[in-house]
Amino acid sequence: MTLRLGDVAPDFEQESSLGPIKFYDWVGDSWVVLFSHPSDFTPVCTTELGLTSKLKSQFEQRGVKVIALSVDPVNKHLEWIKDINETQDTIVDFPIIADEDRKVSELYGFIHPNASATATVRSLLVIDPAKKVRLIITYPASTGRNFDEILRVIDSLQLTDNHSVATPVNWKDGEDVVIVPSLQDEEIIREKFPKGYKAIRPYLRLTPQPNK
C-alpha cells in the first residue's frame, strides 16, 4: 500500500513495548508522529529514539504523541530500550511497535524492496487528529532524521490549519508568515491580521505570525 498526503492513516492492532496497541484508540484526538526503524540495536536508530525521548515535552506542548516501529519482537525492543536509556541518558516511555509479521509495515508502505526486502526504511509520518496523513518523510537507512525539522513542520501545520497563512522557506515559529493568495478581501485581511502586512508583490504578502 502507498500512502499519500491527505489519505486516512490505516487503523491496526499490534504488539508493542508497552503492550497491545489498538492504533485509533491509542491516538484518540491527538496529533501523531509514527516512525519506522530498520532494526533494533543499530547506532543511528539508538540516537534517534534517545532524542525523541528527550523531546517529550516539545511534542506534548504541541499535542503530539510519538510511536516507533521495527520488525523486531517485543523482547528485543525491551532489551534495546535499556541500551538507549543508558547510552543516550534518557528514559524511553513511548511505545515501539513489534511488527514481526510486517503487517503494519506493509499497511503503511514501510518496506521498500529495492532498499531491503525484509527491513523497514527510515520513514516518518505526521498524522492529524482526523487521522489524515499530513507529512511523509523517508530517509535512507544510513541517515538519521532531523527532529528539529519535524517539530518545525508540525508548528507550520498547526498554524496554517487555523489561520489563512502559509509558512515561507526556512520559517521557524515566531517568524513572519505569508497571507494565502486566495484571501483578497481587504476588510477580512484587516480583521484577520490587525498587525498589518507588507506586500512585496500582490501574491507575496508578509505578516507577523497571527497567533503570537
Q: For residue range 28-43, what is the model confidence (pLDDT) as tens digits?
A: 999 999 999 888 999 9
Backbone angles phi, psi at 82, to 5 degrees: -60, -40
Contact 9, 3 (CB under 8 A): yes
pLDDT at 56: 95
Backbone dihedral angles phi then psi of residue 177, each to the nearest 5 degrees: -125, 175
- Model confidence pLDDT, tens digit, residues 115-173: 555 556 689 999 999 999 999 999 888 899 999 999 999 999 999 999 999 999 999 99
The CA-atom distances, in angstroms, between 99 and each of 29, 37, 121 are 24, 11, 13
Cβ 49 vs Cβ 33: under 8 Å: no
Active-site residue 45, yes or no?
Answer: yes
Among residues 34, 42, 37, the alpha carbon closest in space to that of 11 is found at: 34
Domains and CATH numbers, the chain: 13-144 (3.40.30.10), 163-207 (no CATH)
Instruction: Tell me the pairing of strands 64-70 and 31-36.
Output: parallel
The grid coordinates listed for 125 are 509520518
Nearest alpha-carbon partner for 108 in 95, 127, 94 = 127
Q: Which of 38, 120, 55, 134 is nearest to 94 (CA)?
A: 55
Query: What is the arithmetic mean of pLDDT over 98-116?
Result: 81
Distance CA 121, CA 25 (A): 26
Cβ–Cβ under 8 Å, residues 125 and 140:
no
**Residue 148 CB coordination number (10 Å):** 12
Q: Write down the catalytic residue from 27, 32, 33, 45.
A: 45
* pLDDT score recorded for residue 98: 96
CB atoms under 10 Å from CB of 51, counted, come to 15
Using a pLDDT cut of 90, give the percent of the chain over it.
85
**pLDDT band with cut points at 50, 70 and 90 for residue 182:** very high
